Structure 1
Amino acid sequence: MSRPVTFVPPPGARAYSLRTARGEFAVVDAPAAGGVEPRGVVLLVPGFTGSKEDFNPLHVPLAERGYRTVAVDGRGQHESDGPERDESAYAQAELARDLLAQAEALGEPVHLLGHSLGGQISRAATLVDHTPFRSLTLMASGPAQISESQQQRVKLLRDALAVMTMAQVWESIQAMEPPEETATAELDGGLDNREDLRRRWLSTKPAQLIATGRQLCAEPDRVGELAAVPLRFHVMSGVLDDTWPLVLLDEMAVRLKARRTVVEGAGHSPNTDRPTATARALADFWDAEAIRT
């Protein structure tokens, strides 16, 4: 489970519902910093069990580089509505169409960034229609299904959600969490942060978790299809990742002819582990793309 630093939007950012042709989606929208030449718009797509708040640490450093950043809750994720039990609403194709509608609502081509599950949804959207996007960054998001160990964890979660409420599953997760993880969470964000995480969990729709968890465990390798798309790609990760081994991310970058960034000191979530270094690498990539075009 991801652990955002804070659920409070940074100064200058605005939380609101983005109206699209496929409904409304909760976003945090941060403009480029005043006095800085605007460089473009970025759409940030969170991962499994995550939300738009996972990107809060990136908004300010990217604003200072001239980028407007819009982080979104997907359908049924945190503050975006969705059906409780209809898993078909969360098919990857449906989530990809949602993402295309979000990009259209922003009114101009965007740099697209997807973290983990969000990367695979972003890939699916790009394969449907790449024209709303200026580039695609896959952050800690691999070429196909997640690792065997993570598949086992997701299966346990899906089995639990089939017979337990979201509140009951949350309590079970907390009971199984090692003491050192609890201490780290309290150091990162305090007890208020843990309550924010609980509220996010309880507001996420169980069908969304079940359906997207199944996708993570069965995703095919579509890197060959993606490589044929006329976009520039960026593959980013931390130095450690137990969801997709780094060797798979390295190979994917080669197949995509992508820029490859490994963020020192970061794990599966460079956006929260090392936000300053992560933002610098992202802005450097997007700046280079602007020069090419």
Structure 2
Amino acid sequence: MSGVVERSPALLVPGLTGSKEDFLAVLQTLAHSGRRVVAIDLRGQYETPGPEEPGAYTCAALGADVDAVAQVVGGGESIHLVGHSFGGLVAREAVIDGRTKFTSFTLMSAGPAGIVGRRARDSRQIMEEVPDRGLEHVWHTGLEREALTGGVSDEILSFLHKRMLANSPTGLARMAEQVLTMRDRTDELREIEVPALVLFGEQDDGWPTESQVEMSVRLQAECVVVPGAAHSPAVEAPETTAAALIRFWNAAEARLLDTRSDLV
């Protein structure tokens, strides 16, 4: 989505069972800040097909996809990168590999290493049960219950069901394994010296909020806690989340302009 394009574009990467639609509530506000904003599916997610090869769904392989998309979106210039949950681990790979220059990087509800707690149990169910029992089984025994407990409308429930069944089973199972076992690469990310933001809901039930705060300290990154939000602040508190992103992006762009001026 685009407003009047005057600022650096942004690329938004979704989480494990998510898709580009998870950012719908923030896209218009972000675009109206004067930049092109692109949300994607990862390969094998929803409307983006992927191969039936497990190696295609490692964080490194998916991070290479993010690199490729970022270079197209940016047209050779640096862009802002946002990764939600598992998408944060994927996007982190793209930043660390150094193939693409990013204006800023935001970890949204994403921790330093493998996920823990209740969402780890969900990911383990996907990893263990999808290959043998299928997507429909995992939907009815896990994600559907979560959606119903959250009180979503029939329309949204229908979409979530459709989206779940559209995933590549191989891809989803492999990505679930990755989100459970990913190693801590915070120190490597810090060496890149890209302006970073750690943003999460105050009631996040993914990575512990304490571990995300600690990660922000290690990164010397800004940390924003979104009131009233849980694991999906772009859905649960879209205006607060969008405002935090815009403010951070504007500051990162100003810093980049100052750096370029110093080099002239």
TM-score, with structure 2 as normaliser: 0.91
* AA aligned opposite 1:69: V
Name the residue aligned to 1:109.
78
Q: Is the 8 A contact 1:130 1:229 kept in 2?
A: no
* AA aligned opposite 1:226: L
Q: Distance in 2 between matches of 1:266 and 1:97?
A: 30
Q: Distance in 2 between matches of 1:99 and 1:178?
A: 29
Aligned match of 2:2 in 31, 55, 64?
A: 31
Name the residue aligned to 1:9.
none
Name the residue aligned to 2:179.
216
> What is the SS of the residue equivalent to 1:136?
strand
Structure 1 208/173 Cα, relative in aligned 2: closer, same or farther at 3 Å? Answer: same
Structure 1: any 5+ residue segments left out of the alignment? 1-29
Q: Is the 8 A contact 1:103 1:132 kept in 2?
A: no
> What is the SS of the residue equivalent to 2:164?
helix
Name the residue aligned to 1:67.
35
> What is the SS of the residue equivalent to 1:67?
coil
* AA aligned opposite 1:203: A
Question: Structure 1 residues 216-225 or 170-179, which shifts more?
Answer: 170-179
* AA aligned opposite 1:45: V
Q: Is the 8 A contact 1:235 1:258 kept in 2?
A: yes
Structure 2: any 5+ residue segments left out of the alignment? 257-264
Aligned match of 1:173 in 131, 142, 147?
A: 142
Structure 1 173/61 Cα, relative in aligned 2: closer, same or farther at 3 Å? Answer: same
Structure 1 89/175 Cα, relative in aligned 2: closer, same or farther at 3 Å? Answer: closer
Matched, 1:129 2:98: yes
Question: Alignment identity in percent?
Answer: 37
Aligned match of 1:158 in 114, 120, 127?
A: 127
Superposed, which structure 2 residues align to 1:1-293 within 5 Å?
A: 30-33=1-4, 38-83=6-51, 85-106=52-73, 107=75, 108-129=77-98, 131-173=100-142, 176-177=145-146, 180-181=149-150, 184-186=151-153, 191-293=154-256
Q: Distance in 2 between matches of 1:104 and 1:66?
A: 19
> What is the SS of the residue equivalent to 1:58?
helix
Structure 1 271/174 Cα, relative in aligned 2: closer, same or farther at 3 Å? Answer: closer
Offset at residue 88 of structure 1 (A): 1.2
Structure 1 174/105 Cα, relative in aligned 2: closer, same or farther at 3 Å? Answer: closer
Q: Is the 8 A contact 2:147 2:157 kept in 1?
A: no
Spell out, residue by residue over 1:135-180, the C-alpha distance to the aligned partner (whole angstroms, 9 max, x if none). 1000000011111433222212222212212223323336745854
> What is the SS of the residue equivalent to 1:280?
helix
> What is the SS of the residue equivalent to 1:66?
coil
Spell out, residue by residue over 1:213-252, the C-alpha distance to the aligned partner (whole angstroms, 9 max, x if none). 1111111111011101021100000101121111111111
Higher strand share: 1
* AA aligned opposite 2:36: R
* AA aligned opposite 1:133: F
Q: Is the 8 A contact 2:67 2:100 kept in 1?
A: no
Q: Distance in 2 between matches of 1:269 and 1:234?
A: 16
* AA aligned opposite 1:222: R
Q: Is the 8 A contact 2:122 2:142 kept in 1?
A: no
Offset at residue 203 of structure 1 (A): 0.8
Q: Distance in 2 between matches of 1:211 and 1:76?
A: 11
- Return structure 1 stretches of 4+ with deviation > 6 angstroms: none
Spell out, residue by residue over 1:58-116, the C-alpha distance to the aligned partner (whole angstroms, 9 max, x if none). 11111221121100011101111112x42111122111111100011121321000000
Q: Is the 8 A contact 1:40 1:110 kept in 2?
A: yes
Higher helix share: 2
Q: Distance in 1 between matches of 2:144 and 2:249?
A: 42
